[in-house]
Structure 1
């Protein structure tokens, strides 16, 4: 089986796959604490890869009981909702989006976590169109599937893990996948406070793709992540979305000790007892 990324030709040549559009609309914050978001379902209905279904990461595939946006659901809940989208035991899923691959990577990470064979369409809908392949509009019918969750260990870390790391009790490389400006606290953020977790590095997820939305060549990706060293890598961002794109890249490069802090800055910054740093890392 191929790696995390597939191209339009690979997808177009195969039948029996479940193709999911994971797009969420998330505008840039206008001021601190501005967390506007909306489903990408309307955009999917206007134009999508034929046979695809919209997967709602904002509502259906997140935990409505969590105080944080996009928090992962329990494995059995996630499996049930994915089953409603046609994912079944033995299914191969290809995720895509129209927003540079971040949302597709998030869905890919959730799928892999519960044991589903999953891939990301490199370049998303734009790459599909650029390949001269047809698109469709309107709603779609889905045959529900029965999916048994088989959650894998090591995919997630929590706030307590980050606290232990900050106290020197745990060894890991912690890295923020947000933009350099957000990392340094120079621009408005969606969270309660600006800045980054002290001691963390910065590898912006948006810098891992080119203008066409495709991931950079492997050599450039290795160079972008060269300072992360060996051993476990724990990735955070605002809510576990950009972090998933960096997790995909590290997986592509053969790293296998990668975990995402799901609460990320939305959780961390909401606790005034936890430190945040501004400016460039020392």
Structure 2
């Protein structure tokens, strides 16, 4: 299955029409990550309990915190190696011919994260626009408790280049040794350092532009129409030939910006997996505060 086989976004009403498809795999990618109350207030938990309380019928919980992450990494949600990723997906019944729809129960950033992970290994997936909130708003059925196990699939994956960048790559961009435009997807308050950060230091990587991911969604949590998306993204980011290097706190909000960029046809986008959880933890790496909007 190619990464361009289906439209990126799917509505609840369209998803209902696929519910009888035996190849459909609906994944709830929710993670619990509360807003920090004070600096370094990092509280994270699996979204499994919320999934047990209510989910789309047939949906399985995709655990981005542990099962779908690299356990040896120094930061949360680290991209797993291809073999680890393939095994975790296979246990969810995801195979080469699966029709994958991803959602989460909050702002859609977790769904975007899993979508970008899948895209980077050549697997097409769709994101439920507006997530579980849109499903409930449409008055569609919900289910509680566990789902029946699905047969384990066979899946082999290979990571494609051009989707991710590591700390050394970001350092090279910052030093002018590698082309790239740094873009922080956090809120303006977190970017400027005026709000508590759950990470080791406040602020952003020097030279970054600020493009809050939530600015790309409407009040219902759905992605803005293409024209409005382009207005929010701006000509500078859409037309620059340099790669866009997206980051946030943990590579989650940045994935929503990557999805939005893809919706409007902007490629050459890289996501910094470690983001500020890795960067801010190293006191030798520079950070700054103050506003520098995109």
User: What TM-score bracket applies, with the shorter chain setting the length?
Assistant: over 0.9
Q: Which runs of 5+ in 2 are unaligned?
A: none
Aligned to 1:7: 11
TM value normalised by structure 2: 0.93
What is the alpha-carbon distance in structure 2 between the residues aligned to residue 47 and residue 170 of structure 1?
46
Aligned to 1:204: 212
What is the alpha-carbon distance in structure 1 between the residues aligned to residue 64 and residue 40 of structure 2?
20
What is the alpha-carbon distance in structure 1 between the residues aligned to residue 6 and residue 122 of structure 2?
16
TM value normalised by structure 1: 0.97
What is the alpha-carbon distance in structure 2 between the residues aligned to residue 225 and residue 209 of structure 1?
12
Q: Would you say 1:179 and 2:187 are equivalent positions?
A: yes
Match for 2:86 among 64, 79, 85? 79
Shift of 1:150: 2.9
Deviates more, 1:194-203 or 1:123-132: 123-132
Q: After superposition, where does 1:128-143 map in structure 2 within 5 Å? A: 128-140=135-147, 141-143=149-151
Shift of 1:48: 0.7
1:117-157 CA-partner distances (Å, limit 9, x unpaired): 11100001111122222111110122211111032111100
Shift of 1:264: 0.5
Aligned to 1:113: 120
Q: Would you say 1:163 and 2:171 are equivalent positions?
A: yes
Give the conservation status (yes or no) of the 8 Å contact 2:183–2:246: yes
Match for 1:59 among 66, 84, 88? 66
Q: Would you say 1:272 and 2:280 are equivalent positions?
A: no
Aligned to 2:160: 152
Q: After superposition, where does 1:243-258 map in structure 2 within 5 Å? A: 243-258=254-269
1:67-125 CA-partner distances (Å, limit 9, x unpaired): 10111110110110010011011212110001110000001111111221111000011
What is the alpha-carbon distance in structure 1 between the residues aligned to residue 16 and residue 240 of structure 2?
37
After superposing on structure 2, the runs of 4+ consecutive aligned residues of structure 1 that deviate more than 4 Å are none
Cα RMSD of the aligned pairs, angstroms, is 1.2
Shift of 1:208: 1.2
Aligned to 1:98: 105
Aligned to 1:25: 32
What is the alpha-carbon distance in structure 2 between the residues aligned to residue 207 and residue 142 of structure 1?
37
Aligned to 2:50: 43
1:48-67 CA-partner distances (Å, limit 9, x unpaired): 11111000111111111111
